[in-house]
Amino acid sequence: MNYKSAKFVTSAVRLDDCPVDSQREVAFAGCSNAGKSSAINTLTNQTRLARTSKTPGRTQLINFFGLDEGRYLVDLPGYGYAKVPLSVKNQWQEHLDLYLNKRDALVGLVLLTDIRHAFKEFDLMMINWSQRSNMPVHVLLTKVDKLKRGAAQNALLGARKQIAGFPNVSIQLFSSLAKSGIDTLEDKLDEWLVAREDSVVKGE
């Protein structure tokens, strides 16, 4: 899958605003300061595909980025730090719940969490939801460049222990600034986005 070809397609407020041609899509979720938009931009080698801001919580819509026909990356609203009225936050949560529970094309969730204080309440909530829904999750421990190598490895080991009881959760280190961990992320996305029958055809 060529992630550098990703293009913005549409922003959705409600579930029925989402693209109707989607066959497979992977959503990126995380607290508003986890580096979600930066990770998408790093993955696609584009600086402005996903909106980034020094003010956390700028992503307020469900944003769809098209890849190959019927394949999408999805940037979900950031959670927890946006300076918006409570009524708006509640509305985001309602639409997010509908998307996660009713979107048939969703095949995987990339959950981003800052390696320096991983697995906040929202992160654990998403992991628990994924287990109930049999939805695979791939965790990016972001901002690895903020730690020395030894500290980062220790944090990874600690995080792995926290998710040891969840069979559908994988984890890796990632840094948008250092552009590290991209290959591992691409491999996981390929696993989810490339249908098994497509892989068979390509191998023939």
pLDDT tens digit sequence for 176-200:
999 999 999 999 999 999 965 554 3
CATH of the domain at 132: 3.40.50.300
Percent of the chain's residues with pLDDT above 70: 84
Q: How far is CA 188 from the centre of its chain?
A: 12
Give the mean model confidence (pLDDT) for residues 137-143: 97
Q: Where are the beta strands (DSSP E) in the chain?
A: 7-12, 24-30, 62-66, 71-75, 106-114, 137-142, 169-173
Q: What's the confidence (pLDDT) of residue 53?
A: 46
Burial class (CB in 10 A: 0-12, 13-18, 19+), 116: middle
Tokens of 63: 């944003």
Residue 64 scores a pLDDT above 60: yes
Q: Indicate whether this model's pTM tops 0.85.
A: yes
pLDDT tens digit sequence for 7-37:
999 998 888 999 999 999 999 999 878 899 8
Pairing state between β 7-12 and 62-66? antiparallel
Q: Is 77 helix (H, G, I), strand (E, B) or coil?
A: coil
The tally of CA atoms less than 13 A away on the side-chain side of residue 36 is 30
Q: What is the DSSP string of 141-194?
A: EE-GGGS-HHHHHHHHHHHHHHTTT-TTEEEEE-BTTTTBSHHHHHHHHHHHHS
Owner of token pair 């995080």: 159
Beta-bridge mates of residue 173: 141
The mean pLDDT value of the chain amounts to 87
Percent of the chain's residues with pLDDT above 90: 59
The count of domains in the chain is: 1
Give residue 58's domain range.
3-203
Alpha-carbon distances of 113 from 33, 116, 138, 203, rounded to whole Å: 8, 9, 11, 36
Cβ atoms within 10 A of the Cβ of 160, count? 14
